[in-house]
């Protein structure tokens, strides 16, 4: 229910300021300078990824061996790599791949993890025991090692890397939602719904899920940064995107032997990974401060 507060202007006129959960949340988020900076970074890279074909006149696959390892110049702002490909172009198209992997893998993790977490927290008993043991098994392995194992089984490719990243992050969201559901199912409005004969499916998706979205949104924003780093790690090991796809981790791997002679081949994709991860982390921290009442001053 939307409420309104009244402010008195300099002329004595009463000024109505609308308020509500979403409006208050947006105003709180916008007052957080670091969160706004993170949001700006994320939007900047999204725009670059969308406009990549319009920004760069080069083909990211085009090889001009006569121009290999050229330093940044007016012709090639970020220089060229060992095959004469324009690094700026490949960095822009690499943003498409990294952001796509980040968003899609996190969405997949959220959908599966949320579903399993709700079932485990709501029904408990043997359902909770089985799902929780599956989460424990997945969490027993370091995420990157488990992702490497999954890709090794499925075969090196960007799609399989995306599947691996989504799978290893499912327990994060599942345990988060499970803990939220365990607290919500004891609330009076859930007890009242059960007493009136409301079906479990309606309680889950009408009452419990909407009240569990806040931590999911926050963790999902932070999870995109983690997914981008994991995708870069798999790409660096040759288990992610395959040539000639311009994935940032693969670009770092291909250029590591030129760190001393042509450092620009490593700097620009590395800085891109750093900035995108930083942007999502700052934005996620800002959302946490906005939605968590304990973080409010």
For residue range 216-226, what is the model confidence (pLDDT) as tens digits? 888 999 999 99
DSSP designation for 86: B
- Give the C-alpha separation, 248 to 199, whole Å: 48
pLDDT of residue 210 exceeding 90, the answer is no
Rounded CA separation 243/251 (Å): 10
Whole-prediction pTM: 0.85
Contact assessment for residue 185 and residue 208, using Cβ atoms and an 8 Å cutoff: yes
Instruction: Give alpha helix (H) positions in the chain.
Output: 21-31, 33-50, 52-55, 87-123, 125-139, 143-154, 158-168, 170-184, 188-195, 200-202, 213-236, 248-255, 264-291
Query: In this structure, are residues 262 and 272 in contact, taking their beta carbons and an 8 Å threshold?
Result: no
Query: Nearest-CA neighbor of 229 among 153, 289, 169?
Result: 169
- Condensed to tens digits (0 to 9), the pLDDT of residues 247-275 reads 999 999 988 899 899 999 999 999 999 99
User: In the predicted model, is pLDDT for residue 22 greater than 80?
Assistant: no
Q: Which of 33-37, 204-208, 259-263 has the weakest average pLDDT?
A: 204-208
Domains (range + CATH), the chain: 35-58+66-295 (1.10.3720.10)
Who wins on pLDDT, 291 or 297? 291
DSSP string, 105-152: HHHHHHHHHHHHHHHHHHH-HHHHHHHHHHHHHHHTS-HHHHHHHHHH
Of 219, 218, 188, 212, nearest in space to 119 by CA: 212
Q: Once rounded to an integer, what is the mean pLDDT over residues 275-297?
A: 79
Q: Give the DSSP letter string of 150-179.
A: HHHHH-SSHHHHHHHHHHHTHHHHHHHHHH
Dihedral sign for Cα 11, 14, 18, 23, please. positive
Predicted confidence at residue 293, as pLDDT, reads: 54
Beta bridge partners of 202: none
- pLDDT above 90 covers a percentage of the chain that reads 43
**pLDDT for residue 105 is more than 90:** yes
- What would the pLDDT profile of 39-54 be if each residue is shown by its tens digit? 999 999 999 999 998 9
pLDDT in tens, 66-96: 889 999 998 889 999 989 999 999 999 999 9
Angle, CA of 155, 161 and 162, to the nearest 5°: 135
State the average pLDDT for the chain: 85
Measure CA 24 to chain center. Answer: 24
What's the whole-number mean pLDDT along residues 107-119?
92
Residues 132-191: pLDDT tens digits?
999 999 888 888 899 999 999 999 999 999 999 999 999 999 999 888 888 877 777 777
């Amino acid at each position: 229910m939307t409420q309104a507060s009244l402010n008195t202007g300099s002329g004595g006129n009463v000024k109505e300021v609308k308020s509500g959960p979403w409006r208050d949340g947006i105003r709180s988020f916008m007052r957080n300078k670091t969160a706004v900076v993170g949001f700006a970074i994320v939007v900047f890279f999204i725009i670059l990824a969308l406009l990549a074909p319009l920004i760069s006149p080069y083909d990211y696959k085009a090889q001009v061996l006569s121009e290999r390892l050229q330093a940044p110049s007016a012709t090639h702002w970020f220089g060229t790599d060992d095959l004469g490909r324009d690094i700026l172009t490949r960095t822009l198209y690499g943003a498409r791949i990294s952001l796509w992997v980040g968003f899609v893998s996190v969405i997949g993790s959220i959908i599966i993890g949320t579903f399993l977490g709700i079932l485990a927290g709501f029904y408990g008993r043997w359902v909770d025991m089985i799902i929780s043991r599956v989460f424990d098994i997945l969490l027993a392995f370091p995420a990157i090692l488990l992702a490497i194992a999954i890709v090794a089984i499925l075969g090196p490719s960007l799609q399989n890397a995306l599947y691996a990243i989504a799978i290893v992050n499912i327990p994060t969201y599942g345990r988060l939602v499970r803990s939220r559901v365990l607290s919500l199912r004891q609330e009076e409005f859930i007890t009242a719904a059960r007493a009136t004969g409301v079906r479990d499916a309606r309680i889950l998706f009408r009452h419990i899920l909407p009240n569990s979205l806040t931590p999911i949104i926050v963790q999902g924003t932070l999870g995109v940064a983690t997914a981008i780093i994991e995708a870069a790690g798999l790409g660096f090991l040759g288990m992610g995107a395959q040539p000639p796809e311009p994935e940032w981790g693969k670009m770092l791997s291909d250029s590591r032997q030129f760190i001393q002679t042509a450092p620009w081949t490593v700097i620009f994709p590395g800085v891109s990974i750093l900035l995108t991860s930083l942007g999502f982390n700052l934005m996620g921290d800002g959302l946490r401060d906005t939605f968590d009442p304990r973080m409010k001053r």
